[in-house]
Structure 1
């Protein structure tokens, strides 16, 4: 597991090496709960990730050990990316998070912000940015005032994170916080946080498991 810290411009990093995916998920559950409990006076703003290792994390957070400790009512749950498929689709990150965690805990519905996956993708991205702006309290990201407390990310075999795929125009986006991506090596149009939004976080955490991710 790799964590980068530094607010608006992430500049420092630390790596935590653990024996397997289960240990990563357990470590992350403890760390994330500590971060959320430490946030007082304002909401804890979290960007969730899809993937098998985060799936286990969500199961742990919904377990008896954590579901009465984690500050669900003080947490705003956003998503780092989403496939442009119905929320009921097995490929939907929201579907996975809802099934494994949100359906089992006492989180106010208004605190959960799934990405809209119907209609025009560009308009859906704009609507999601508006939701982020409402929580942030502004339309311009300011150094020293992060958009997120934690952004969770994975890493694909082709090096992509969130839905920032190689060779795609979204990689060059400098102003929008949320944009679209149509990868040439994976199915589905995507919505994704952009680099400016990801960098505006107190912590950016890559949850990586497996020998293929060792050198990432």
Structure 2
């Protein structure tokens, strides 16, 4: 298991170079893996440019689209056409602009059922894709997991104080009462089940949280993550600051 303090840290000049570096990492990783691929996307503003770059040359021409499946680490419990939707952001930036088979896109359901039922449905879909009911540390669900970092130290929708932080076995849970809308999120067991994991972190507002992440601070949700595979942090100089430079 890899702690955040053991992650490979790459400090980039600005948002654009961060996005370029992250897109190159993801493309190289996908091309190096054989067979069917699974990638979990993050929401938020920082990954958006990375997704846009993947849908443009030169990355678009290199990426193994036909064998890559796309999942989400978390989602706001709003319709997929709502401006707050993580799915909508990814759809506009990447999914609608790249040659991705529709059956390879696996959004979290958010309409016509309760948050708890949505979490159960997504967990069932993940287990069907994975082909087992229990996780094998030697066989991660995902080839790549993209994560963000909130200024309060949350990642995915693992929020400070949420009961989801203590979920030991479930793969997906509903998070209610800690944000303006309910969320559906992967739990630590599912988030950690990836061949490679990368945090994308930008902006001076993330500096304190990034410092705590790098210290494995269990007082923030992201600091408790223990990746089963390689762990990387792509941060711009504003987030890194002089402490990490």
Correspondence for 2:84 among 91, 94, 97: 91
Q: Which residue of 2 aligns with 1:203?
A: 196
Q: CA RMSD in A?
A: 1.2
Q: Which residue of 1 aligns with 2:116?
A: 122
2:45 pairs with 1:52: yes
SS where residue 151 of structure 1 aligns?
strand
Aligned to 1:6: none
Shift of 1:212: 2.5
- For residues 81 and 136 of structure 2, what CA distance do their matches in structure 1 show? 36
TM-score by length of structure 2 reads 0.81
The answer to whether the 8 A contact 1:87-1:117 is kept is: yes
1:106 pairs, out of 99, 102, 117, with 99
1:187 equivalent in alignment to 2:173: no
Structure 1 residue 183, shift from structure 2 partner: 4.2
Q: Which residues in structure 2 correspond to 1:21-60 (within 5 Å)? A: 21-40=15-34, 42-60=35-53
In structure 1, the gaps of 5 or more residues are 1-8
The offset of 1:28, in angstroms, is: 0.6
- Where 1:202 maps in the other structure, the secondary structure is strand
SS in 1 for 2:13: coil
CA contact (8 A) 1:10 1:199 kept: no
| SS across alignment from 1:104 | coil
Q: Give, in whole Å, the separation in 1 of the partners of 2:74 and 2:143.
A: 17
Give secondary structure in 1 for the equivalent of 2:59: coil
Cα distance in structure 1, aligned partners of 2:78 and 2:89? 13
Q: Is the 8 A contact 1:45 1:149 kept in 2?
A: yes
**Aligned with 1:57: secondary structure?**
helix
Higher helix share: 2
SS in 2 for 1:90: coil
CA distance in 1, matches of 2:83, 2:134: 35
* Regions of 4+ moved over 6 Å: none
Q: Distance in 1 between matches of 2:47 and 2:92?
A: 13
Deviations 1:67-110 (A, max 9, x none): 22111111110000000000000000000100111111111111
